[in-house]
Amino acid sequence: MRKYLLSAFFVVCDVLIVVLAVMASVYIRFEGAAVDYYLRLVLRNLPLMLVTYLLFFLFFNLYRRIWRYAGIRELLAVTGATFAATAFYALAYKIFGHYHLPGSLLLIIFLLITAGVGLSRMAVRITMSLSVNGQNNTGSIPVLIIGAGDAGYLMASDIQQYYATERKVVAFIDDDPAKKNNLILGVKVIGGRDKIAETVLALGIKEIIIAIPSLSAKATAELVELCSHTKVTTKIVPGIYSLLDNNINMSLARPVGVEDLLQRDPVKLDLDKIASFLTGKRVLVTGAGGSIGSEVCRQVMRMKPAQLVLLGKGENSIYEIHQELSKLYGKEHLVPVIASVRDEERMTEVFDMFKPQVVFHAAAHKHVPLMEAQPAEAVSNNVCGTRRVAKLAGLKNVEIFIMVSTDKAVNPTSVMGATKRTAEKIIQAFNARYPTKYITVRFGNVLGSRGSVVPLFKKQIEAGGPVTVTHPDMKRYFMTIPEATQLILQAGSMGEGGEVFVLDMGEPVKIVDLAKNMIRLMGHEPDGDIKITFTGLRPGEKLFEELLSAEEGTTRTVHEKIHRAVLREEESERMKKLLAKFDACETDLDYIEVLQEIVPTYKPNHFA
C-alpha cells in the first residue's frame, strides 16, 4: 500500500513539474509580446505534453524504482525518459502541428523537467533516509542477508525502505573475499558462509534471507542445510529474476522448504513441442483432483487447449481445481466432470460428449498399505479402470493417451505396484491394437502429494513429535510435483507410441535424513526437541525403490531427464486372456495369484 501511495505522490509531482517547466521555459526563452503568444500556444498543447511525459516515465519504470537509494543509474533513467518524451513530442508536433516551436524552447523544457524530476526524487530520497534513521526500530527483527550482489542489495533496499519498522538488515554474508568488510547501504559484509552460525549468535539474528537467485540447485541445498542448523527462520529468493527491473523484494522471499534440499536444477522444457500437441486440443485428465492430476491441469491450461475436461470421482477436489483454474483462465474452456474410471457406461458418455484428443490418465489408488489390505479394490481401479479408459481412447480415436505410473511398478512387492505394472502392460498392448499413441511415464515419489511423508512429517513436527520413520535405511526417489508434471508433458510430446518413459529422479534420499532436515527447517533439533521413532516396514513396502527392473534397460532420448525403458512388447490377446482371470477371483489370494502370473517379478512380502 505504501508503494502505491508513493507512486501516486510522484505522479502528482511530475504533473506539477511538467506544467511549471513548460510555463517557465517560455519566460526564459522569450520577451515582450512573444511571451503571450507562445504561452497560449504551449498551454493549448499542455494536455498532450502531460500524457506524453507520464507515459514515457511509466515506460522507463520511474514509478517502480527504489528511490531511497537512488544513484547514477536512476538519474540516467530520469534523463533518458525525459529526453525520449521530449524527442517524441517534438517529432509528433513537427508532423502534425500547425505552428512552429523553436528547438531552443524544447531544449529548455527538457532541461527543466529533467532537473525537476531528478530533484524531486533526490528530495524524497533524503527525506526518507532521515526519517528511517530517526525511527526507533527496537521492535524490528535483525536480518542476515546471504548474498552481497545485486539481489542482496535490492533486498536490503526494499527492507530499509518499506519494512524498516518490521526488519533491520544487520549483516551480509558473501563467499567473495573481495567483498569482505565492505559496506552495502551502511551494512557490513561479515565474510563467507563459514561465518553464518557465528554471525547469527553474535548479532541475535532472527531471520536469514538467501538472496542469490543464480545459485545452482546443489549450492542452494548446501546453503539451506547450513542455515537450518542455526534454528533461525530462513527465507529464499527462488529462481533468476530480472535485476535490471528491480524486481527483487521481500514479497519474493518465501520460507525454505524441503524441495530446496533436493539438489535438483530447474527443468529445461521444449515449450514449442509441448504446445504442438496441446494448444487448441480437447484434453481430458482423469484423477484431475489429485496431486499429480491437478498439476497436470495447471500445466495444460498454460498451453491454451480448446477444452480441458477435469474428471474425478471426488467432488470436493474437482470443485477446488475447477475454481482455481476458473479464476486464472475463466470457465469457457473448463469442464468439471464427476465420474469413476471404473464406470464404463459413464466414461463412454464422457468420451462421446467431449471427444478428447489427448488423455492424461492420472486416476489411481496409490496408498500402498491400504491397497495391500484390499487387492480387489486395487485391481478394480488401477487395472480394470485403466483398461476401460485406455480402450475407449482407442475406440474413440484419441490421438495420444498418457498414463502416469510409478517406480513401485518395478519388481513390485506390493499390490499397488503390481497393479500399476499390469496397467503399464495393458497400455503397451493397446498401442499395437489401436492407432492411438499410448505412452507411459514412470517416476518416483513427489514432495507434498497427498499421502506422502512430507505433509505427514509436517503435522507430526507441529504436534511436537515424535516423527515416525519406518526404517533407518529406507530410501526413496523424490521430485517436486511441478517438475514431475512438466516432464510428463514433455514425455507426452516426444512419444511415438508404446514407450515407457522413465524420469531421471536424481539420487535417492534417506527418509530419516529427510525427517531430520524438515525438523531443522521448522526450527527444532532432531532427537532433541523432536524425537524420531522407527516403526518397521509396513505391508508391501520396500527399503529401496527401483526405476528399472533387472531385465529392463534404457535408451537416451532428446531430453536429458527423460529415458526410455527397453521392454518386451506385450501381446494384446495374451493380456486379454490373463485379465479375464480376474473375473473368477473370489479371495484376496486369488487376486494376488493372477497378479503374479501377469507380473512375474511381483514378490509379495505380505501374502505368503
* CA distances in angstroms from 171 to 71, 167, 189, 195, 447, listed in the order given: 22, 12, 6, 11, 33
C-alpha cell belonging to residue 108: 529548455
Q: Residue 255 gets which letter from DSSP?
A: E
C-alpha cell belonging to residue 499: 514407450
- Do 234 and 210 touch, CB atoms closer than 8 A? yes
* CA distances in angstroms from 56 to 101, 348, 379, listed in the order given: 21, 58, 65
566: number of Cβ within 10 Å:
12
- Do 491 and 441 touch, CB atoms closer than 8 A? yes
Q: Residue 251 gets which letter from DSSP?
A: G
423 Cβ partners below 8 Å, 6+ apart?
364, 382, 383, 386, 387, 403, 405, 409
C-alpha cell belonging to residue 411: 519388481
430 Cβ partners below 8 Å, 6+ apart?
390, 391, 393, 394, 401, 436, 438, 572
SS3 187: strand
Sheet strands side by side (includes 282-286): 334-338, 307-312, 282-286, 358-361, 400-406, 437-443, 500-503, 562-566, 553-556
- Do 157 and 68 touch, CB atoms closer than 8 A? yes
CB-based burial label for 504 (10 Å; 0-12, 13-18, 19+): middle
345: number of Cβ within 10 Å:
7
The β-bridge partners of 208 are 144, 234
373 Cβ partners below 8 Å, 6+ apart?
539
The catalytically annotated residue of 235, 313, 408, 542 is 408
Concerning whether 366 is annotated as a catalytic residue, the answer is no
SS3 19: helix
533 Cβ partners below 8 Å, 6+ apart?
466, 467, 468, 469
Strands of 187-290 (E only): list them: 187-191, 207-210, 233-236, 254-255, 282-286
Q: Residue 146 gets which letter from DSSP?
A: E
CB-based burial label for 478 (10 Å; 0-12, 13-18, 19+): buried
Active site residues: 408
